[in-house]
Every structure is written in structure tokens, then in C-alpha cells.
């Protein structure tokens, strides 16, 4: 009988790396999603084109290839990143491309009458967007953002391929050292699931808070 | 004062407007004196709502000119030439005009008080405390002081429309546009909104343009009535002239239909 307690710290270290990747990756994806999502709705053709190219490119190529590019190819152009930085960049840009379409779609659900009220109240485009359109659109984005965050969490496993010691990587280490498959993979299965559950509960809580008073009805 | 007091606050000069192949306004001209209360009536599709939306810059025009307070609305005068208005010019012109919509268009994620204070705080650079004090006065006037913290979804249609009127008034526009503001209301809620508008008409010197299907209200409210049909003004005059002694055949036919539908004029 092997003493599993000796291997648990390895798994927990992996969990910490996965948590960092998820949190930083989501932060980057969130920022990029708003930039590109708003970019696709811009009045300026060049901005729309740039946003479209980014979104189509990152949705249309594999996250593996993107990660390898960031980690192995960028150094050839003089930009060397740590494995964590490379993982965050690849995951953030990849999921951000999907979330950008969520941002764009949600903004388009705000009825044109709301924009007309903004015009009648002489708000600028920026003020209308910030105070009227985005707060209403954000409630629509949230559930899908939750899905995107969970996708990103599950996607973090690919960083084990650039030797970053995340959950999946550590499970392989434990398996190699003990020859046991069940313990390491069962434990990371549970940890991934707990992380996903945490994201789900957090978005649902936020949804409930933001939807309060709206009652699903437009005024 | 002498001449400027006589200058119209709104001059619509040979305005044309079409949506694709559909001509909505055709060579439309009229003027409104400062403080005048004007009712625009006519069958649906006659262009009366469109001219209100144009004055609020929610639609552009295809031809003609509009002057507000002596200044071009959709054009800028630069070195004696007229250029299309830019966003800054429109922003300055819009500050003279407010609008109340048929479907209220309140901001559903903001309470009544925030709906009213938002624009003064953002555009008028009024401090929040001052904006809230003034908003409470307006909400008191429309009978909604006790609903200041309610969300729009918690209000009845009549309450929503009164909140929307308070919101439009908060910017103290010289001109107020009312676009069928009681058409979406249950019949028993119409009167509470009309009462607020009667008070406004009597107690302020704001210029008001009203598009309505409530003929008896138009009769009480308006100094002058314009009857629209197919994008043109067919007949205009004082409310007694239009409602009691219409000259034009089309006006007479329209009013007969209204009476047949059960409205008292």
C-alpha cells in the first residue's frame, strides 16, 4: 500500500497552477472580449476588420497550435515568455475570441428604443454605452461568460504540453512515480469539477444580483 | 426684444423625408412660436410622428431645412456655407429639445430617481445632490415622489409615462415633444398622464408639440392644430376651427371616423 499523503502536495501544487492559469486567463479573455466585441460594432471599418480578423483567426485555429506558437515560435522573434505567461496569453486570446461574439450578440439585444432615449436625453455615444447599453447587455452575457470560463478551465490542461506543472501534468508525475492511475486521475477529476462548480455558482450568484428589479421585463 | 420675440422657435422649411421608396414627408413647412402648444393630428402613416422624430434628430432629412431658435438643426453655417451637422453640433442643438415616447423607454436597470437624474448629472454637470433635489421636485409634480426608489418594472403604465415625463423635464428643454404618449396605456390610466400634461401646459412657457389620437385633449391643450395627411399639412387652425368647423374634406372625413369610433371631440 502506497502512502498517498506524500503525493497529495504535488497534486495541490498543480491545482494552484491551474487556478492561476484560470484566473489570469479569464481576466485577459474578459478584457480582449470587450475590446474585440465592441470593435466589431465600431463605426470605423478598419476597427471592425481588425476585430473580425482576430476573432476568426483565434476561433479557427487549434489552441495547441496557438500555445506552441506563443511558447516556441515567439522566442524566435525575440519575445520569450515563461510557461505560465505563455499559457495565460494563449488561453486568454483563444477564449477571448469566443467571448467577443458573446459581447457583440448581447449588445445587439438591447432594443433601439433605449438608444433613442439616450439621444433624446442628449447623452454621448460613450455615455450611452457605459451607463445604459453595457449594464443591460452584461446581464445577457453572464451565463455564457460562465460557460466560457469553464471552457478555459478545462483548456488549461494543454499547458502540460509546454511542461507547466498544472493539475494534469502533476497527475502524470504521480502516475509515473507510483504506477497507479486511479488515485491521481480521480483526484484531479474531482478538483477540476470543484473549480467548475465554483465558477458556475459565482456566475449564477452574480446573475441573480444583477437581474434584481429587472424581472426580465423591459420598461 | 421686439423682433426676437416674434422669431419662431421652430422653423420647418420644405422638409422632405422618405424611407427607401416610401415618401413620408413631402415639402413640409410650418413654424412654431415660442411657448406655443401645437397638436399634430391625422391618420396613422401621415408623417406626424416622423416630424417629431426628425426634430429630436432620431431621423435625418432628405431635403429642406430646420431651424431651432434661429439655428440650423442638421446643418452648420461655416463661412456662409451650409455643411452637414457633426456630432458636436447635434449635441448642442439637442440640449434645447426633450421628447416623451409612446412606449416610455425608461432605463429598466435604473430606479425612477436614477432615470431622472442620469442625464442632468452626465450632460448638465449638475452635482448629484442638486440633481436629486430637482428630480424629487419633478417627481412630486407628476405625483411619483413615493416611487422614487421603485424600479420601472414595478410601475403601472401611467406611472412609467409620468416618470418618463419627469425625466425629459429634468434637462429643462425649451421644446418638448410628446409622441402619442397615452396610446400604449390602459384606458383608465390615460387621464393621470393627461392631467400632468395639462398642468405643464398651464404652468410653463415651454413650447410643446403633441402627436395624439385623443381629440378632446388636443382641443383643450393646443393653441393651434395641424391636420396631417400623406406627409403634408392639409389644414391648420385654432382648435375650434379644426374640430368644430373643418374646411377640408379630408379633415372632415378623418373627424367623422374618429367620432364613429366612439371618441368625444
pLDDT (tens digit, 9 = 90+) per residue, A129-174? Answer: 999 999 999 999 999 999 999 999 999 999 988 989 999 999 999 9
Helix axes A83-108, A8-39, angle to 10 degrees: 40
pLDDT of A4 strictly over 80: no
Q: What percent of chain B has pLDDT over 90?
A: 84
From residue B167, alpha-carbon distances to A61, B37, B38 in Å are 50, 20, 21
Fold of the A12-162+177-211 domain: MetI-like fold (1.10.3720)
Q: How far is B172 from chain A (nearest CA, A)?
A: 11
Q: How far apart are CA A218 and CA A26, in angstroms?
A: 30
Collapsing DSSP states into helix, strand and coil, what is residue A145?
helix
Q: Answer yes or no: is B253 within a domain.
A: no
Q: Which three cell numbers stand for residue B168?
A: 425629459
Q: Establish if B114 belongs to a structural domain.
A: yes
Structure ipTM: 0.92
Structural domain of residue B132, as residue ranges? Answer: 107-172
Per the structure, the count of domains in chain B is 1
Cβ atoms of B162 and A219 closer than 8 Å = no
Best CA proximity match to B192, nearest among B183, B201, B182, B207: B182
- Measure the CA–CA gap between B102 and B238, rounded to whole angstroms: 25
Over residues A85-121, the pLDDT tens digits come to 999 999 999 999 999 999 999 999 999 999 999 999 9
- Res. A215: pLDDT tops 70: no
pLDDT tens by residue, B78-133: 888 888 999 999 999 999 999 999 999 999 999 999 999 999 999 877 899 999 99
Across the interface, whether the CB atoms of B99 and A120 are under 8 A apart is answered: yes
Best mutation target among A106, A121, A127 (most B Cβ atoms within 10 Å) is: A121
- Residue spans of the domains in chain A: they are 12-162+177-211
Residue among A113, A139, A215 whose CB faces B153 most closely: A215
Using DSSP's 3-state secondary structure scheme, residue B155 falls into coil
Minimal-distance CA residue of chain B relative to A138: B109
> In angstroms, how far is the first alpha carbon of chain B from the final one?
38
DSSP B212: -
Amino acid at each position: 500500500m502506497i502512502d498517498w499523503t506524500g503525493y497529495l502536495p504535488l497534486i495541490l501544487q498543480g491545482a494552484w497552477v491551474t487556478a492561476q492559469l484560470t484566473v489570469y486567463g479569464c481576466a485577459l479573455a474578459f478584457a480582449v472580449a470587450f475590446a474585440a466585441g465592441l470593435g466589431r460594432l465600431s463605426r470605423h471599418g478598419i476597427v471592425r476588420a481588425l476585430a473580425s480578423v482576430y476573432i476568426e483567426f483565434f476561433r479557427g485555429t487549434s489552441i495547441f497550435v496557438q500555445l506552441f506558437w506563443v511558447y516556441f515560435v515567439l522566442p524566435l522573434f525575440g519575445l520569450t515568455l515563461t510557461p505560465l505567461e505563455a499559457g495565460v496569453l494563449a488561453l486568454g486570446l483563444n477564449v477571448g475570441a469566443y467571448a467577443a461574439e458573446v459581447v457583440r450578440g448581447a449588445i445587439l439585444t438591447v432594443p433601439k428604443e433605449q438608444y433613442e432615449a439616450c439621444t433624446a436625453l442628449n447623452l454621448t455615444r460613450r455615455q450611452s454605452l457605459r451607463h445604459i447599453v453595457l449594464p443591460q447587455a452584461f446581464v445577457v452575457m453572464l451565463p455564457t461568460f460562465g460557460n466560457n470560463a469553464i471552457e478555459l478551465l478545462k483548456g488549461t490542461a494543454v499547458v502540460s504540453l509546454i511542461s507547466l506543472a498544472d493539475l494534469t501534468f502533476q497527475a502524470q508525475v504521480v502516475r509515473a512515480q507510483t504506477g497507479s492511475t486511479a488515485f491521481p486521475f480521480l483526484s484531479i477529476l474531482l478538483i477540476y469539477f470543484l473549480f467548475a462548480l465554483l465558477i458556475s455558482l459565482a456566475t449564477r450568484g452574480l446573475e441573480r444580483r444583477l437581474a434584481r428589479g429587472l424581472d426580465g421585463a423591459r420598461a | 426684444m421686439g423682433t426676437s420675440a416674434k422669431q419662431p422657435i421652430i422653423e420647418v422649411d420644405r422638409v422632405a423625408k422618405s424611407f427607401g421608396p416610401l415618401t413620408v414627408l413631402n415639402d413640409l413647412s410650418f413654424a412654431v412660436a415660442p411657448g406655443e402648444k401645437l397638436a399634430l393630428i391625422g391618420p396613422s402613416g401621415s408623417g406626424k410622428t416622423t416630424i417629431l422624430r426628425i426634430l429630436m434628430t432620431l431621423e435625418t432629412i432628405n431635403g429642406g431645412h430646420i431651424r431651432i431658435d434661429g439655428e440650423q438643426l442638421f446643418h452648420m453655417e461655416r463661412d456662409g456655407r451650409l455643411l452637414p451637422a457633426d456630432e458636436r453640433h447635434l449635441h448642442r442643438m439637442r440640449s434645447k429639445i426633450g421628447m416623451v415616447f409612446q412606449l416610455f423607454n425608461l432605463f429598466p436597470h435604473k430606479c425612477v430617481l436614477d432615470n431622472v437624474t442620469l442625464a442632468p448629472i452626465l450632460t448638465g454637470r449638475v452635482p448629484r445632490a442638486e440633481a436629486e433635489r430637482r428630480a424629487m421636485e419633478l417627481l412630486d409634480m407628476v405625483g411619483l415622489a413615493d416611487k422614487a426608489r421603485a424600479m420601472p418594472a414595478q410601475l403601472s403604465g401611467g406611472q412609467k409615462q409620468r416618470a418618463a415625463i419627469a425625466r425629459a423635464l429634468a434637462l429643462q428643454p425649451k421644446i418638448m415633444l410628446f409622441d402619442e404618449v397615452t396610446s400604449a396605456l390602459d384606458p383608465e390610466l390615460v387621464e393621470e398622464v393627461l392631467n400632468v400634461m395639462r398642468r405643464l401646459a398651464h404652468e410653463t412657457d415651454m413650447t410643446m408639440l403633441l402627436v395624439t389620437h385623443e381629440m378632446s385633449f388636443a382641443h383643450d391643450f393646443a393653441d393651434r392644430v395641424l391636420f396631417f395627411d400623406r406627409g403634408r399639412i392639409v389644414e391648420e387652425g385654432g382648435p375650434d376651427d379644426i374640430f368644430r368647423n373643418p374646411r377640408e374634406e379630408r379633415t372632415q372625413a378623418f373627424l367623422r371616423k374618429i367620432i364613429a369610433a366612439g371618441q368625444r371631440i
